Structures are given as C-alpha cells and as structure tokens.
Chains A and B, each alone.
Chain A
Amino acid sequence: MNTSGTAARRPSQLFRNLNAKVASIPMILTALMVFLGGTVWTIVYSFTNSKLLPRLKFVGLDQYERLWSAPRWWTSIENLVVYGVLSLIFSLVIGFVLAALLDQKIRFEGVFRTIFLYPFALSFVVTGLTWQWILNPDFGVQHLVRAIGWESFTFNPLYDQDIVIYGILIAGLWQGTGLVMCLMLAGLRGIDEDIWKAARVDGIPMWKTYLFIVIPMMRPVFITTLVIIASGIVRLYDLVVAQTSGGPGGASEVPAKYVYDYMFLAQNLGQGFAASTMMLLSVAIIVVPWAYLEFGGGKRG
C-alpha cells in the first residue's frame, strides 16, 4: 500500500461532509444575498442622486463631497470617536475590576452578578429615557443634591453642548459594563486554580499575578469582548435618540443617526447610503487588519 494509491482513492475535498455542506446552503445563500447583496446595492446607490426612492442616476462622488463638507457629519464622527475610545477603555477596565472583585469568593456572588447584569436586559431606548430623567437638572441628580443643601451644585450634561457626549457615555457604560463583567468572570473562572497556587508559592503579589499572568492568558476572552463592545459603539443610535435626540443644537449627533435622518427624514437616500458606506469603510479599516493578524498567516500555535 503506497501513499499515492490512497490519495487516488480518497474522495475529493469538495464532497467531504456532504450533508453538512448541503445543509448550510440556505444560510450561505442568505448571507450572500442579504448581507453581501445589500452591501453592494447600498454602495452602488451611494453614487446616485436617489431621493425618496432609489434611482439609478449616477452623480459620481457628489454625495461623498457633500457628506464630508457637512458640519453635522464631522460632529458625528468626533462624537463617535470620543464615545468609542472612552467606552472601550472604561467598560473593559470597570468590567474587569468588577469581575476580579467578584472572583474573590465573596458571599452572595449570584446576587451581585444579577444586579450588575440587570441593566443589560434593558433596551437602549429604556436606558436612554431613564438616564434622561436622572440627568435632567430639574428632576434628577442636580435637583437631589441641591435639595439636600448644596445649592450651587451643577450637573446637567445633557443640556451642555461641551459635555453632552459624556452624559450619553455614562448611560452606555451603565448598560454595557455588566455584560463585560460577566464575560470577564467567565474568563477568570477558566484560569486553572493551580496557576494561582503556583503564584502564591512564588510570593507574587495578587495585582502582579492578574496583570502579567492572568490577563495574557485571557486573550481570547478579551478579543471577544472587544468585538462585542466595538460593534455596539458603531451602531450607537437609540441611546442618543432617547436621551437627547441629537441635541442640544446637534452636539450629540452620531453617524448612525445621520444615516437614518437623511434616508428617511430628508428623503435623500443617496446621502444616507454615502454615510452608511463610510461607516462600513471605517469598520473595515479597523476590522480587516485585526482579522488578518488574528486569523491570517496561521502562525498561532
């Protein structure tokens, strides 16, 4: 029996696991038609001057020129960057610290876990409306602090153009950190008990164990979390609509809202498509190099 003979009789790659391949055809078709088809369609029509209804009348890069000269689009991008960077940092840090604290074998862990995860069960709209009340200067935090005696206390982020995006960030963190904490906790539980024992025997302080041993070991968990947080950032929309509707004076606009407003409110599909294509492009710029590093090259052992 020589190897070449076996190879000749082995069925071709295409027909291996045939059942599984047949079964996945509907999903592949859906993915191709709905996701890829929709994406291509959107990009093509972003070069047209479609108004209320899609029309194939090409105008070149006009929509993009208009988009990048619109002050509102620039504000949206700035807001998304501020919100994105800060929410990435804070939700990872807060989420991890909470998870590490819960991991200390404390009593009533289940109760705490539920409390921290609860906000995640609420939709962004409910979260946004709740925080709109909490941050309202006449009813919420400011009113409360003033009522107990600190008359000059001022805290009204939603009514101040310069800090409104932080008001939205607070609500976003409140809603999302619980999930990050749970993911992190699961990751921590996956770390072998023996590693902790070994670190203790060697006399390594706890914070160092976390920073240099545990966190590097949790790399896959961090990556999953990162993807979940990042996708939440790009589609930031309902929170803004519920909390400020883009106000005051357009200071809390975000790209997704620009897309919606121009597609449906302004009846200018072309402009909305151009904006959503830019959003896709920015996601691609971040995701593609990362995916290449992560999955490409096959250098992971």
Chain B
Amino acid sequence: MNTFKHFLAGASVLALSVTANAAELEVTHWWTSGGEAAAVAEFAKAFEATGNTWVDGAIAGGGSTARPVMVSRITGGSPMGATQFNTGRQAEELVEAGLMRDFTELAEKENWKEVIRPANLLEGCTVDGKVYCVPVNIHSWQWLWLSNKAFEDAGVPVPTNWDEFVAAGPALEKAGKIPLAIGGQSWQTTGTFNVLIPAIAGKDVFLKVYQDHDAEVAAGPEIAKVFKAADDARRLSAKSNVQDWNQATNLVITGQAGGQIMGDWAQGEFQVAGQVAGKDYTCLPGLGVNELISTGGDSFYFPKLDDADKTAAQEVLASTMLNPQTQVAFNLKKGSVPVRGDVDVSAANDCMKKGLDILAKGNIIPDTNQLNTEDTNNQLNDLFVEFFKTPSMTPEEAQKRYADIIASAD
C-alpha cells in the first residue's frame, strides 16, 4: 500500500513537471534490428534533451507488419504523435484525406528546401505545394555485401562485380557455403530483382518500367536478361533457409554465406557486429556493374492531434530530426546517408563514403516506393517470392506475369 502511495506521489510530481510545455509523444516505427534500434535511440536522446518525452512505439516484424497497424490507428481515430513511413507513396492517401499535419511553415522557416538534398526527397513529402513529412535518411537498395572470410575459405578472390560473384558460386558451394543469402520475406525477393534491373539493364530501362509503367519494355529483351540474372540468383540462394533480412545478413557476417543483396541498412548490422568495411566485408554499390544508387529512405509523418502541447512537441520533434548533429549521429548508426548536404560526415566508413561519392556525382535513381503504389509492390512481392522459391517456374513465365503487373500499375 505504501509503495503504491509513493508511486502515486511520484507520478503526480512527474505529471506536474511535464505540464509546463513539454509533452509525451508516441513515435511509431519498425526499427527493431540491432543497428536500427541503436540509431533510433539517437532520435530519442535528442528529443528528450528538449525536455519532451519520447514514447517508443517500435513495432516488430518489419514494415509490412507495422504499416497496417499505423494506418489503422490513424484512420481509426487514435493517432500517434509521429510515425515512420518509407519516403514515397505509402502515406499518400492519408495526406489527401487530411489526416496529416501540414509543416509548410516550419519548412520555410528552417529552409528545408535548401538544406535537404537530393530535392526529390522533399518532393516526396510535398502534396499540392505543402510539406507533410520530414525525410530523415537516404537509403539505397543497390548494394552487394560480401563476406571476405567466406571467399577466403572457398579459396577464391573476393569478386568485384556481379558476374564474378556468379562465377564464384560453385566454389562457395563446394566449401559448404550458401553463395547468396536471401530471407524468405517477400519484399526481399522483390528488392533483389529491382536491384538487378539497373545493374543489368541500366537506368533507362528501370525508369521506363517503374516510372512510365511501360509494359512493352517489361516484356522485352532487356528485362529478359534481368530475369536470367534473377534465375542465377535463385540458384545461388536455393539453400538459404532464413526469414528475416538481418538473419540473412548475419549469415554473411558469420561467413556462412558468400553475399547478400540488401539495402545499406545492412551496414548497421555489420557495425553492431564490430566488422570493418574492406577488411571483414566488402560492399559493391550497383553490384559493381552500374554504380547507381536509389534515394529512398524513411520519412516521419505527423498525424493531426487535438492536444495543443503535443502539437507543439510535434514541431520540436520535426526540427530535432533534421538538426545537423542528430542527422549525423542517427545516420552513422543506421548506415544511411544524412538528408542534409551541409553536415560533417568525415566519421563515415568506407562503404558510406562510396555512397556519398555516387550521390555527389548525381548517379541516382528514384526508389521503387516513390514510383509504385503499395498495391503494385505487393503484386510484385507475390510474384517474386513465388519465383525465387519455385525452381520449376521458368524465367519466361515469370516475365509474362511481370509484364501484366506493370501494365496494370498506376
């Protein structure tokens, strides 16, 4: 009973201290792997330094599990303070329905237009000239992560591009390694294919298929080549029996697998495991063929709230996330690139520097999340998870279905 009284007293003191002008803000996200959790802690730390309280709403299971929860909370009338979505079209309809808060004023005050680069990140947040979200990082998919140890064990040099990697497959298999690790989640198989497109067929084909939704190109010879490469990837990953992407990354970290095609968020895992780029692992942007990277990433959206204190806190959180120090601290842990061009990234490791170089050269493509609706992405997921797990499905058959999906995309 006494402890309960103490607890009550403590709680009321806490409540008093909070009422001033600070608020508790629940922030939902799906950053739960080791590297991701370390990164999001940087946001929490920076936000709490402003006197507000960060209520962590991590949803395990990846974006595909988390997004339905987030959307139904917002549409169901119990919105959180802020929520993550991938930069792109995922929250498009929520914005159009007027459920999200407009940050145009803050954006003009803090000059987001100038500091955020590349410009298409902020464009992804802009609907009818108004800014509705805060991009926090740049992630690119086009990376091949290689385990130096696995290749050493197999007695072959570490490949420098996709073709060499495919050629090294049999040697890896002989050494008892899985040449290519792909998790069982469907978005990973789609991601792998979408990385192969710019690497094998080039930027123009990628844009024709995903930006213009040109079904003829999707059924054409260039994409047929990509399907051939995907067939190789399928063969090399046949023994990969894990589900989550970070489990697959772990196979590479421990040298059980030769490589993994995964976005640069995988780098956070290498970092947490204490691995050094260039020594323990090698990264090949654009699969070492076409050095192009996509500029996807994550953005935070702020649902409209009634509570005045929380509304004020939302503004504080938005500007904290874009603060130069927070940007550097967060992105170094996350393995992603800061959205600001004017911050000091000398602490970045080899791989991240490669990414920054490519970004500076302007060799960029939009992310598929910016071009496709979730509906199209989901249809692609259905197709590719079947393709990668069904050895009897021919590339030609898969390409036909692929072209149908592209034809119906909007």
CA distance A247 to B384 in the complex (A): 12
Flag whether A265 is at the interface (Cβ < 8 A).
yes
Cβ 8 A contact of A266, one of B184, B185, B378, B387: B378
Q: Is the CB of B97 within 8 A of A161?
A: no
Select from chain A the residue with minimum beta-carbon distance to B404: A69
A51→B410 CA distance, assembly (Å)? 12
Q: Which of B41-49, B67-75, B207-215, B301-309 binds A? A: B67-75
Q: Spot the interface stretch: A20-28, A248-256, A293-301.
A: A248-256
Known: A248-B184, A249-B386. A266 touches B71 (CB 8 A): no
Contact A264 B72 (CB under 8 A): yes
Contact A72 B184 (CB under 8 A): no
CA distance A248 to B388 in the complex (A): 9
- Any chain A CB within 8 A of the CB of B241? yes
Find the B residue at minimum CB distance from A49: B410
- The answer to whether A110 has its CB under 8 Å from any CB of chain B is no
Considering the complex, which residues of chain B in the window 380-397 have a beta carbon less than 8 Å from any beta carbon of chain A? 382, 385-390
**Bound complex: CA of A264 vs CA of B75, how far in Å?**
12
A52 contacts the other chain (Cβ, under 8 Å)? yes
| Interface of chain A residues 128 through 166 with chain B (CB within 8 A) | 138, 159, 161
Q: How far is the CB of B104 from chain A (nearest CB, A)?
A: 23
Does more than half of chain B's interface fall in helix, strand or loop, or is it mixed? helix
Alpha-carbon separation in the docked complex, A161 to B389 (Å): 8
**In the complex the two chains form, is B64's CB within 8 Å of A250's CB?**
no
Check A53 for interface membership: any CB of B closer than 8 A.
yes
Q: Return B24 CB to nearest CB of chain A, in Å.
A: 27
Give per-residue flags for B356-378: 1 if the beta carbon is below 8 A from chain A beta carbons, else 0: 00000000000000000111011
Contacting A249 at CB < 8 Å: which of B68, B92, B243, B385?
B385
Looking at the assembled complex, report how far the CB atom of B392 sits from the nearest CB atom of chain A, in whole angstroms: 9
Q: Are B93 and A52 in contact (CB under 8 A)?
A: yes
| Interface residue? A91 (CB, 8 A) | no
Q: Are A71 and B375 in contact (CB under 8 A)?
A: no
Residues of A within 8 A of B94 (CB): 52
In the complex, are the beta carbons of A266 and B374 less than 8 A apart?
A: yes
Q: Is A271 an interface residue (CB 8 A)?
A: yes
Contact at B68–A265, with CB atoms within 8 Å? yes
| Candidate in A72, A248, A266 with the most chain B CB atoms within 10 angstroms | A266
Distance of A47 from chain B, by nearest CB (Å): 17
Residues of B within 8 A of A78 (CB): none
Indicate whether A189 reaches chain B with its CB closer than 8 angstroms.
no
Interface residues on B, range: 20 to 34
Q: Kindly identify, within residues 109 to 139 of chain A, every residue whose CB is under 8 Å from any CB belonging to chain B.
A: 138
Cβ-based interface call for A210 (8 A): no
Residues on B with C-beta less than 8 A from A64 are none
Residues of chain B within 8 A (CB-CB) of A265 are 64, 67-68, 374, 378
**B71: contacting residue among A52, A66, A161, A262, CB under 8 A:** A52
Q: Do B389 and A266 have beta carbons less than 8 Å apart?
A: no
Q: Is the CB of B401 closer than 8 A to any CB of chain A?
A: yes
With beta carbons under 8 angstroms apart, the residue of A66, A159, A261 that contacts B408 is: A66
Q: Is A46 an interface residue (CB 8 A)?
A: no
Residue of A53, A70, A248, A266 near B75 (CB, 8 A) is A53
Closest Cβ of chain A to B236, distance in Å, is: 16
Q: Which residues of A contact B64 (CB under 8 A)?
A: 265
> Given A52-B93, A53-B93, A251-B389, A267 and B379 touching (CB < 8 A)?
no
Task: Indicate which residue in B375, B378, B385 contacts A247 across the interface (CB closer than 8 Å).
Answer: B385
Asked if residues A264 and B97 are in contact (CB atoms below 8 Å), the reply is no
From B67, B373, B377, B382, give the contact of A250 (CB < 8 A).
Answer: B382
Q: 1/0 per residue A62-106: CB within 8 Å of B?
A: 000010001110000000000000000000000000000000000
**Cα distance A138–B239 in the bound complex, in angstroms:** 13
Partner of B388, one of A71, A249, A271: A249
Contacts of B71 in A (CB 8 A): 52, 264, 267
Instruction: Please report which residues of chain B, range 60-101, place their CB below 8 angstroms from some CB of chain A when the two chains form the complex.
Output: 64, 67-68, 71-72, 75, 90, 92-94, 97
Question: Smallest Cβ distance from B53 to chain A, in angstroms?
Answer: 30
Known: A52-B92, A70-B382, A248-B184. 7 other contacts (CB 8 A): A51-B93, A51-B375, A53-B75, A159-B241, A248-B389, A265-B378, A267-B374
What are 25 A-B pairs at a CB distance below 8 A? A51-B373, A51-B375, A52-B71, A52-B93, A53-B75, A53-B93, A71-B386, A71-B401, A72-B386, A138-B241, A245-B184, A248-B184, A248-B389, A249-B389, A250-B186, A250-B385, A264-B68, A265-B64, A265-B67, A265-B378, A266-B379, A267-B374, A268-B374, A268-B378, A271-B375
Shortest Cβ-Cβ A-B pairs, 4 listed: A249-B389, A266-B378, A264-B68, A52-B93
